[in-house]
Amino acid sequence: MVMRPRPFARRREAKKLDQELGTLLWRHAHDRFARSLDRYWQIIAPDRQHEISKEEQNGLVNAGNVLTDALETVRTICSDARERFGERDLDVPPGANDIHRLMSRAANDLAATAQAAAMFQRGQADIQSVGMRAEKVLESVTAAQELTKR
């Protein structure tokens, strides 16, 4: 049985994110990554019927765990960027272009990772395509993290 967070816990988390990330540009960047991550987990859910081995399923879950760990880094990057650059509606502030671009790229690559996982499960791609996409996500997150340290 899967435990779902209670509605009040989700509201509390949303308020905490609003305080930390605001409700504009940096919150949107964080939420795009989080939605792509949710989609990945929906696709690789072990309760779905697929013609893949247990080892391959474990590999997909392991990749998902690594990507989930990256969500906290994304949150920190967005929080630091908000403090450093502020927000002007949904316009990217001067000096934040590269960080925002990398956050967008990470979210897009994560969505592509979910797509690669779906194609792998249907026998239309190999497991390496999932790994390569996941590595691109982590590269973008790491590059954005380095930029926030400067």
The residue extents of the domains of the chain are 23-149
Q: How confident is the model at residue 1 (pLDDT cuts 50, 70, 90)?
A: very low
Tokens describing residue 60:
């997909």
Nearest to 99 by CA among 142, 50, 63, 148: 148
Q: How confident is the model at residue 3 (pLDDT cuts 50, 70, 90)?
A: very low
What was the pLDDT predicted at 18?
64
Residue listed under structure tokens 């999932």: 130
Higher pLDDT, 75 or 3: 75
* Spatial separation of the C-alpha atoms in residues 17 and 10, rounded to whole Å: 10
Sign of torsion over alpha carbons 138, 139, 145, 149: positive
Q: What percent of the chain has pLDDT over 70?
A: 83
Higher pLDDT, 7 or 38: 38
User: Which distant-in-sequence residues (6+ apart) come within 8 Å of 56 by Cβ?
Assistant: 120, 127
> How confident is the model over 90-111, as pLDDT tens digits?
778 888 999 999 999 999 999 9
